[in-house]
Amino acid sequence: MKITEVLQVLSDSTRLRMLRLLGQEELSVAELQEILEMGQSRISSHLGLLRRNNLVSDRKDGKRTYYALRDEVCSNYGFIRMALSEESDEEFWESDQSALARIVDRRRRESERYFDEVAERLGKNYVPGRTWEAIGHFLFRLVPPITIVDLGAGEGMISQLLAERAKKVICVDSSKSMVRLGTDLAKRKGLSNLEYKYGDLEKVPLSSKSVDLALMSQSLHHAQKPEVALAEAFRVLKPGGQLIVIDLKKHQFEKARELYGDHWMGFGQNELYRMIGDAGFRGAKVEIVAKEKKKPFFETLLATAEKA
Ligand SMILES: C[S@@+](CC[C@H](N)C(=O)[O-])C[C@H]1O[C@@H](n2cnc3c(N)ncnc32)[C@H](O)[C@@H]1O
């Protein structure tokens, strides 16, 4: 950029006003028109010149384009910084500032009005990008550095996510294929703190009081004796350790035996609460956390409890 050209660009009071405004806030052509009270073609031709001289940048947002003073302009050219920060007694200086403040305030109010209107519906409505998957990924980042046993872990989809933050994750499964598959996947993902053990929910291959969290996700209904599996979870937990059971609420879909190899057709809410208490746990909570929209309308129970 030639200095003489820059000085020539700056020698126009409208362009100087624009640069001063764009240094404070990114603005669209329509907003500049409103502040400067000038026609669109005049504003556009000034903006074109400022852009060609690399003094402003533009950003597309939908149908609108927003312009802003380039970050490096003031640091590269001390005299521009001075020209833009200098107080001036020219009459437009103050009116530009109040018009800019009005526009910024109006933008804020527009956004507030939108959220005021949708506030009641926001929890139920579609919010772009707010998926349970995204929320799940965020929540997995909150996992503390603890030792977890995933009982009936399958290929380890949940365990792999837990292992990103946990100290150690031990996956127990009675299917040799699952153990092989899960071990390979963990290795490929470089999860050295995720270990698979071939074993049974009802005879967990771990020593007593060795883990902080016992997880059973969609595995309890596969146990021959669920109460024995819960007693095993209790045994391997350290005092103060947590139990999490995610399972199906009792249903009538008998085909699940043949389709998914299920042994129990889910559990009643009270039934699961009682079984967890009988295994020795304290403070059990059993809630329905999801209802499928497709037939046979499976419902999911989430149970949590603590080994006192
Ligand atoms: C529906 S999958 C759930 C996998 C995983 N927990 C999940 O939520 O994605 C059930 C898993 O439990 C395992 N399983 C079934 N009976 C078991 C038992 N008695 N002991 C250990 N694992 C068992 C199966 O091999 C299978 O991998």
Domain range annotation of the chain: 3-118, 132-306
Ligand 1 centre to CA of 259 (Å) is 14
CA distance 307 to 234: 7
Nearest CA to ligand 1 atom 1: 218
What is the predicted pLDDT for the residue at 249?
Answer: 98
Q: By percentage, how much of the chain surpasses pLDDT 90? A: 77
- Residue 285: pLDDT band (50, 70, 90) is very high
261 Cβ contact partners less than 8 Å away, ≥ 6 residues apart: 222
Domain 3-118 classified CATH 1.10.10.10? Answer: yes
pLDDT digits (tens, 9 = 90+) for 255-269: 999 999 999 999 999
- Residue 122: pLDDT band (50, 70, 90) is low
Q: In the 8-state DSSP scheme, what is residue 24?
A: H
- Computed over every residue of the chain, the mean pLDDT equals 93
Mean pLDDT of 223-235: 97
Atom of ligand 1 nearest to the CA of 223: 19
What is the predicted pLDDT for the residue at 287?
Answer: 97
CA–CA distances in Å: residue 113 to residues 62, 64, 109, 110, 120: 20, 20, 6, 5, 13
What is the predicted pLDDT for the residue at 87?
Answer: 67
Question: In this model, does residue 88 exceed pLDDT 80?
Answer: no
User: Are 179 and 198 a contacting pair, CB within 8 Å?
Assistant: yes
User: Are 236 and 214 a contacting pair, CB within 8 Å?
Assistant: yes
Ligand 1 pocket (Cβ < 6 Å) reads 152-154, 157-158, 172-175, 178, 200-202, 217-219, 222-223
Nearest CA to ligand 1 atom 15: 222
Fold exhibited by the domain 132-306: Rossmann fold (3.40.50)
280 Cβ contact partners less than 8 Å away, ≥ 6 residues apart: 231, 234, 307
Question: In this model, does residue 194 exceed pLDDT 90?
Answer: yes
What is the predicted pLDDT for the residue at 1?
Answer: 63
What is the predicted pLDDT for the residue at 115?
Answer: 79
Question: In this model, does residue 62 exceed pLDDT 70?
Answer: yes
Question: In this model, does residue 89 exceed pLDDT 70?
Answer: no
Best residue for ligand 1 mutational test, from 149, 171, 173 (most atoms within 8 Å of Cβ): 173
**Of 50-54, 211-215, 247-251, which gets the smallest average pLDDT?**
50-54
Question: In this model, does residue 86 exceed pLDDT 80?
Answer: no
Burial (CB < 10 A; 0-12, 13-18, 19+), residue 110, is: exposed
Best residue for ligand 1 mutational test, from 172, 222, 232 (most atoms within 8 Å of Cβ): 222
pLDDT digits (tens, 9 = 90+) for 174-189: 999 999 999 999 999 9
Question: In this model, does residue 104 exceed pLDDT 80?
Answer: yes
Helix (H, G, I), strand (E, B) or coil at 78: helix
